[in-house]
Amino acid sequence: LSPAMADAVTWQRYKGTQLFLLFYRHPWVDQIVKYFPEFEARTGMKVQYETIPEVQGREKLVVEMTAGSGGIDAWHASMHVEKRRFWKSGWFQPLNAYLDDKTLTAEDYAWNDVTPGAKQAVTQPDKSISALPTFVDPFVLFYREDLFQQRGWAPPKTMAELESYARQLHNPPGMYGFVMRGLKNANATPWAFVLYAMGGRYLTPDRKSAMNSPEWIKSMDWYAGMLRRYAPPGVVNFNWYECSAAFMQGQVGMYIDGVNFANQFEDPTRSKIAGKVGYAVLPAGPAGRFAPTFTNAMAVSAQSRHKEAAYLFSEWATSKQSCNRELLGGVGVGRASTWGLPEVKARPKMPLEWYTAYQESVKIGRAGLPEIVDVTQYRDIIGVAIQKAIEGAQSDVVIAEAHKQFQELLDKTET
């Protein structure tokens, strides 16, 4: 951290404190743990941590929090799943007062440097800030740059153009024009791209289901139609893993998913198309251009006995220096200044087009899932509807059923 950061903040004030942190497996975590000795030397604190897969990690967190054990001081939160649920449960320690405290937050921490979408992801309806953003994952378009160059194509600017390209690339069984997730629950994240582009929204202003609208039906026609016509057989059961595998095997021309999957595409030991992948902002629909975005963040537990010490860790882990290291390691972050670093441009880990697509997508980012208590149940409801439509059911029929189920869910969990 810079000398300025050391001046105002008394980093040693909790010397001797032992923190326990819970992490879900994640590229951001792989990078940050390398620097824990530096944090311990600066603060005199000891860091103990556990890293486990996300689903099991969240289960452990819920058990600990429900029991009120106070055993977890901070955790790496998936805001798109935990935001509203954990806020309503009172498990997030609000960080506003800490951010305003000059003895706890260094001047060069620069909260204003955090991108608007990342800030929105950690800010609750009561304006409390629940966590400090670590990692921002917008969805982008991956495409076969070599095939586009052969045809003299630029990346598609509109959804109509994307469909036209998919049709022309589609030549099964060797090449399929397009792929996105078809599997229920998993398909709810790319779905947001189509919904926003068509002008749809999840909730009405009074927080009722907004599914019974023409935009939802149009979105379903497009999503299911594209996968039915241009995706590999069996796409109805494809999660990101199957989509990525088909793309890396050279079997698919275009693919929409989280920008951070790019690392594996560029790895020649795993990918047949390394060095042949293009990266672009998602195309526009009738309502404009949007990127579904998913944010992870360091949250301090409201039950921690070391809240300020846990905050100092979170501040250090999301400081400019930490974010710079993450991006140089090929992990995307939610700080505007980091993307302009000369070192990033001088020795890029990824193709420069990846950085550009990432930056531009973060600017048009929108929450990739509705901010409700039971996000998982929503994902199942819309996920089953999408699967049925891919298999040939009528869009208006599956949307009507999903709308009914979604409203019942909201009545049960949001009141």
The tokens for 169 are 């690339």
Helix (H) or strand (E) holding 42: helix 36-43
Select from 347, 366, 385 the last residue of a domain: 366
pLDDT of residue 3: 46
**CA-to-CA distance for 301 and 64, rounded, in angstroms?**
11
Q: Are residues 244 and 209 in the same domain?
A: yes
Q: Are residues 234 and 107 in the same domain?
A: no
Q: Are residues 13 and 128 in the same domain?
A: yes
Domain that holds residue 235: 138-292+368-413
Select from 351, 366, 381 the last residue of a domain: 366
Q: Are residues 154 and 288 in the same domain?
A: yes
Residue 340, pLDDT above cutoff 90: no
The tokens for 158 are 């509109």
Do β-strands 291-300 and 74-78 pair in parallel, antiparallel, or remain unpaired? Answer: antiparallel
Question: What is the tens place of the pLDDT at every residue in 124-178?
Answer: 999 999 999 999 999 999 999 999 999 999 999 999 999 999 999 999 999 999 9
Q: Are residues 42 and 114 in the same domain?
A: yes
Residues 6+ apart with CB under 8 A from 409: 372, 374, 377, 378, 381
Question: What is the tens place of the pLDDT at every residue in 236-260?
Answer: 999 999 999 999 999 999 999 999 8
What total number of domains does the chain contain? 2
Task: Look up residue 53 and give its DSSP letter.
Answer: -
Q: Are residues 190 and 162 in the same domain?
A: yes
Q: Residue 415: which pLDDT band, with cuts at 50, 70 and 90?
A: confident
Q: Are residues 116 and 205 in the same domain?
A: no
Q: Are residues 188 and 205 in the same domain?
A: yes
Q: Are residues 59 and 129 in the same domain?
A: yes
Question: What is the tens place of the pLDDT at every residue in 21-55?
Answer: 999 988 899 999 999 999 999 999 999 999 998 88
Q: Are residues 70 and 199 in the same domain?
A: no
Lowest-confidence segment of 105-114, 178-187, 324-333 by average pLDDT: 324-333
Q: Are residues 88 and 206 in the same domain?
A: no
Kindly report the CATH number assigned to the domain that includes residue 255. 3.40.190.10
Q: Are residues 122 and 155 in the same domain?
A: no
pLDDT of residue 80: 93
